[in-house]
């Protein structure tokens, strides 16, 4: 995995950024944490998608630009990214009025040669984040079984939601994990899974993977919606911790 001194799985998803940015430099700082970390579902894209997509939303906000239009203007040479982004935004009703207290956020990412966009509808009350609805669009080339594609994107979305909302392991002074059971470690409950739609882009390209690409873009989509609701950009995860910092 190490090439030219760089762990490629740590920078994938950032080093191949699709946006038309004329000057791009990707740096990597690896931290020794005392616990041997290994890959997570979607590997490097789990963290690079969050960093790049949330940062791009911050840039769009600074420019006073719509996050969707801002991305599309930078994706002229990446039509498959643009297509899933447009489809998810259209199906989610991007730009249309929402119920009071509801906000939308979006993100798009490519992993394992599959393109996925998420739009999340979120509310924030008393520091608590609730995800009400998620719309995803996926381009995984030629689809053999649409039900499997939808199930994998739904599962990946739930996996990513659990991670961004509340899942956390902490180490005590003795180096032992402090969470001992599901009363202190809180993966996504069924009751917290939002209403969800998955839309598949018709394609005759070679088929690609769907087991992992449903994970990366849901986190930044939720974070961007939270930022629109609160004006606060979350850089510490999970959100239960980040909302307090």
pLDDT at 1: 65
Burial class of residue 133 in the structure, from the number of CB atoms within 10 Å of its CB (0-12 exposed, 13-18 middle, 19+ buried):
middle
List of the chain residues with pLDDT < 70 = 1
The answer to whether 44 touches 109, Cβ cutoff 8 Å, is: no
- pLDDT at residue 28, rounded to an integer: 82
pTM here is 0.94
pLDDT of residue 27: 83
Q: Find, among 23, 17, 32, 127, the residue nearest to 75 by Cα.
A: 17
Cβ atoms of 224 and 60 closer than 8 Å? no
Pairing of strands 6-7, 128-139: unpaired
Domains of the chain as residue ranges with CATH: 2-242 (3.30.365.10)
pLDDT confidence of residue 9: 84
Dist. CA 94–CA 104, nearest whole Å:
8
């Amino acid at each position: 995995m190490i090439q030219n001194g760089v762990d490629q799985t740590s920078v994938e998803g950032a080093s191949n950024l699709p946006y038309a940015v004329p000057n791009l430099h990707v740096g990597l700082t690896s931290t020794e944490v005392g616990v041997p970390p290994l890959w997570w579902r979607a590997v490097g894209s789990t963290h690079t998608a969050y960093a790049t997509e949330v940062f791009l939303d911050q840039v769009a906000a600074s420019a006073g630009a719509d996050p969707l239009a801002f991305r599309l203007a930078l994706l002229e040479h990446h039509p498959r990214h643009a297509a899933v982004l447009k489809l998810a935004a259209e199906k989610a009703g991007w730009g249309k009025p929402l119920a009071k207290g509801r906000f939308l956020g979006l993100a798009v990412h490519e992993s394992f040669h599959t393109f996925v966009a998420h739009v999340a509808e979120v509310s924030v009350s008393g520091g608590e984040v609730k995800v009400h609805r998620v719309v995803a669009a996926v381009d995984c080339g030629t689809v053999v079984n649409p039900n499997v594609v939808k199930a994998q994107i739904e599962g990946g979305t739930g996996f990513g939601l659990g991670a961004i909302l509340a899942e956390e392991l902490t180490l005590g002074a003795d180096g032992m994990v402090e969470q001992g059971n599901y009363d202190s470690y809180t993966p996504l409950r069924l009751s917290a899974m939002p209403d969800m739609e998955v839309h598949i882009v018709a394609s005759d390209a070679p088929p690609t993977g769907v087991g992992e690409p449903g994970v990366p873009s849901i986190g930044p989509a939720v974070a961007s919606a939270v930022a629109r609701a609160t004006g606060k950009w979350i850089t510490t995860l999970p959100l239960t911790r980040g909302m307090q910092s």
